[in-house]
């Protein structure tokens, strides 16, 4: 139910000035709430009657025009707030009307400004693909505000939990997006909100407590048995053998597709103990990484030596073509799920951690800037559970004797 909005004006006669004028005050009521503020006008007392300036002279006309503008602005701000809030108070409208605190900042304008700054950093420490995702999320949010609220923008002060809940529902029902895509949309919106908090535009997160429904996590890594199937199953074409070998190389090194395509012979180095290393920098984060190569990875490098152009270490297909090939290879090998090239990185990280390699070491090998990113790969496999449980049982048995 929309509350009735009223704006009335009166003179503050106890502050009459020497020229006989008095400050004009506005009284704003929204439902049962009330707020009073200065209209920032001084009106000769003799011109004032029934909440307006009387007469048709220029002075009276200008005063009344200004009062009408204040009234219209108050009604407009109330309409904007009511579009996203269940309850709007007179103080809320007053805050927007006077431009107090955060009242002047709007969500979509701030979002676009963020994206424009992000664009300028592409190629330095930001990726073009990520910039594209931010613009897509901003445009989708803009369309939601336009269609659902008939507004071109929304002030930060109008945001509350009900707004994000409605947006979440819109993404699920109207846009029919998957849970994973919705998480991406709302996480980027959350980034914008957190930046607004850091900039002092708002003092608290209006979406506090909101948690998007996340898709059920499916294993992104390959088991030892699945890796063995890839290694031993005869394939149908030389192209598939190459795609398989590139994928396996990433399984044993953790290097993602983009960095694989950038590898050159200059990335190889041999240590004093004879171990061959790949040392390079992650294209995504700019973090240095270094990986010792096992015999299987070395065999792949040797097999494809001097077959790539432009000084690259390995011949690479496009990412889309690689993923299409991997789907067909998985079917040929009897792997009953869809795999992508990025599964190789998860396979490396998961198996390294399950074999007891410290997470700090794995993080350095993967080129992560934060340990919590590496924790994504910390899957606990059934084999690891069985192995650890068996070891625990043996230690317990050695320490205790059970008398029957």
pLDDT in tens, the chain (404 residues): 456 889 999 998 888 888 889 999 999 999 899 988 888 888 999 999 989 999 888 889 999 998 998 898 888 888 877 877 778 888 888 877 765 543 457 889 899 999 999 999 888 878 888 899 999 999 999 999 888 877 778 888 778 888 899 999 999 999 998 888 888 999 999 999 999 888 888 888 888 888 887 766 565 788 888 999 999 999 989 999 999 999 999 998 889 898 898 899 899 999 888 899 999 888 877 788 888 898 999 999 999 988 988 888 999 999 899 999 999 999 999 998 888 898 988 888 888 877 778 888 878 788 777 777 777 666 555 555 555 555 555 554 554 444 43
Residue 2 to residue 82: CA distance in whole angstroms: 8
Burial annotation 244-276 (CB, 10 A radius, 16+ → b, else e): bbbbbbbbbbbbbbebbbbbeeebeeeeeeeeb
pTM: 0.53
Residue 253 to residue 296: CA distance in whole angstroms: 10
Long-range pairs of 215-219 with CB within 8 A, sequence gap ≥ 24: 215/178, 215/179, 215/180, 215/183, 218/337, 219/379
Please check whether residue 250 is in contact with residue 314, taking contact to mean a CB–CB distance below 8 angstroms.
no
Residue 333 to residue 308: CA distance in whole angstroms: 27
């Amino acid at each position: 139910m929309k509350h009735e909005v009223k704006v009335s004006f009166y003179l503050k006669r106890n502050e009459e000035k020497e020229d006989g004028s008095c400050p004009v005050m506005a009284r704003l009521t929204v439902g049962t709430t009330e707020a009073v503020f200065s209209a920032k006008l001084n009106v000769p007392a003799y011109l004032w009657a029934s909440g307006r300036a009387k007469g048709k002279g220029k002075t009276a006309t200008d005063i009344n025009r200004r009062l009408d503008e204040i009234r219209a602005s108050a009604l407009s701000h109330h309409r904007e707030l009511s579009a996203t809030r269940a309850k709007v108070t007179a103080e809320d409208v007053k805050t927007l009307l006077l431009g107090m605190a955060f009242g002047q900042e709007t969500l979509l304008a701030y979002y676009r400004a963020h994206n424009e700054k992000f664009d300028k950093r592409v190629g330095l420490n930001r990726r073009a693909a990520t910039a594209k995702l931010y613009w897509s999320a901003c445009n989708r949010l803009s369309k939601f505000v336009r269609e659902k609220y008939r507004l071109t923008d929304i002030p930060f002060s109008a945001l509350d939990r009900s707004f994000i809940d409605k947006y979440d529902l819109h993404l699920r029902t109207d846009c029919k997006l998957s849970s994973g895509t919705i998480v991406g949309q709302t996480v980027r919106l959350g980034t914008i909100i957190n930046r607004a908090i850091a900039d002092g535009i708002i003092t608290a997160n209006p979406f506090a407590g909101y948690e998007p429904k996340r898709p059920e996590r499916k294993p992104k890594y390959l088991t030892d048995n699945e890796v063995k199937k890839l290694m031993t199953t005869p394939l149908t074409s030389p192209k598939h053998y190459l795609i398989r070998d590139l994928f396996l190389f990433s399984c044993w090194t953790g290097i993602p597709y983009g960095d694989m395509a950038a590898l050159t012979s200059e990335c190889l180095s041999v240590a004093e103990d004879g171990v061959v290393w790949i040392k390079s920098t992650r294209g995504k984060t700019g973090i240095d990484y270094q990986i010792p190569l096992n015999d299987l990875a070395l065999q792949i490098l040797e097999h494809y030596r001097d077959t790539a152009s432009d000084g690259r270490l390995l011949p690479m297909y496009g990412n889309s073509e690689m993923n299409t090939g991997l789907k067909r290879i998985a079917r040929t090998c009897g792997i009953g799920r869809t795999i992508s090239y990025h599964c190789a990185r998860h396979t490396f990280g998961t198996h390294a951690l399950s074999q007891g390699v410290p997470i700090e070491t794995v993080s350095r090998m993967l080129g992560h800037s934060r340990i919590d990113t590496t924790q994504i790969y910390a899957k606990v496999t059934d084999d690891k559970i069985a192995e650890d449980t068996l070891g625990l049982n043996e230690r317990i048995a050695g320490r205790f004797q059970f008398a029957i």
